[in-house]
Structures are given as structure tokens and as C-alpha cells.
């Protein structure tokens, strides 16, 4: 669960960095203005990508609505994908440093062995807390089972 909280914390940080790098909108921006087109923001340390945040579009200034939210984290020793978080839409508040959505969210390991899904989530950066409120489902996929007839853990043919 701590890893899930760290993943969402990275997402919030990435959103703030993406927002800071985007061009400033005029103060009289109409509420119905079209969304800014898609973006991808890789965060690097020492030349290695630690996470990548992307979305198909975003709207707003202090309350940003991000469409097709995706966050991928990468293992530091191999550079392979580790965790992937997706949501069709979420709202990021740069003032309260929180991310929320009434819609679905999916957190999964890149290798497919674990996933956590639900409807409605809230991430509070200040509290370092992720809450998935409805229809929460955890899935564990085990790939190695001892055989019932033999003494080895040989893979299935």
C-alpha cells in the first residue's frame, strides 16, 4: 500500500511540473475553452527515467481536469516498467495538492501479478493517503504453484 501511495504522490508531483511547464493562459480564459492537447512528461534523475506521466488533454489552471491519465514508474536497476496507474479522467488541485475522481482508477504492476481497481479515488499529498471509495477490487495472480503429484515447481507445459 505504501508503494501505491508513493506512485500517486509521484503522479501529483508530475502534474504540478507539467502545469508549471505549460504556457500560461490569459486571466480571462473562458470556462468552455477547448482542452490543451495531449502531453507526456518523463521525470529523470541521473539520466534515468523514474516515472512518466501522460494524458490525452487537460483543462484549467488551479483545478486541472486531465483526460486519459496514465502514470508509469520504472525500476531503478533495470529501467523496466514497474507500476502503471490509469484513470479515464481525474481532477488535480494545485492549491490543495490533491487528485480526485468519481470515475474508475486502476493501479497495477507492469508484470500483471497485482492490481487494485475501484471507482472514486482521492489522493492527498499532505496526508500521503490514497482512498479508493467504491467497488474496490484487488487481484493477485500467482504464477508458480507446487505440483500435486511431483516434488518440483516446474512450469506448466
The strand order across the sheet containing 81-93 reads 36-45, 48-59, 63-74, 81-93, 98-109, 114-124, 129-140
* Percent of the chain residues topping a pLDDT of 70: 67
pTM over 0.85: no
Would you say residue 50 lies in a domain?
Answer: yes
Cα angle value 117/139/87 (rounded, 5°): 20
Residue 64's CATH number = 2.60.450
Would you say residue 31 lies in a domain?
Answer: no
Would you say residue 147 lies in a domain?
Answer: no
Would you say residue 136 lies in a domain?
Answer: yes
Q: What is the mean pLDDT of residues 81-104?
A: 88
Would you say residue 64 lies in a domain?
Answer: yes
- By residue range, what is the domain housing residue 8? 2-21+38-140
Please count the structural domains in the chain.
Answer: 1
pLDDT higher at 90 or 28: 90
Would you say residue 99 lies in a domain?
Answer: yes
The mean pLDDT value of the chain amounts to 74
Amino acid at each position: 500500500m505504501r508503494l501505491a501511495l508513493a506512485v500517486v504522490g509521484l503522479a501529483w508531483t508530475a502534474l504540478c511540473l507539467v502545469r508549471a511547464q505549460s504556457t500560461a493562459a490569459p486571466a480571462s480564459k473562458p470556462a468552455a475553452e477547448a482542452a490543451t492537447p495531449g502531453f507526456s512528461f518523463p521525470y529523470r534523475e541521473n539520466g534515468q527515467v523514474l516515472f512518466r506521466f501522460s494524458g490525452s488533454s487537460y483543462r484549467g489552471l488551479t483545478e486541472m481536469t486531465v483526460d486519459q491519465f496514465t502514470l508509469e514508474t520504472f525500476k531503478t536497476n533495470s529501467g523496466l516498467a514497474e507500476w502503471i496507474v490509469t484513470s479515464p479522467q481525474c481532477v488535480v488541485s494545485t492549491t490543495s495538492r490533491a487528485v480526485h475522481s468519481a470515475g474508475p482508477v486502476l493501479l497495477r504492476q507492469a508484470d500483471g501479478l497485482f492490481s487494485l481497481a475501484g471507482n472514486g479515488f482521492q489522493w492527498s499529498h499532505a496526508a500521503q493517503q490514497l482512498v479508493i471509495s467504491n467497488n474496490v477490487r484487488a487481484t493477485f495472480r500467482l504464477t508458480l504453484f507446487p505440483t500435486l503429484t511431483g516434488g518440483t515447481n516446474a512450469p506448466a507445459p
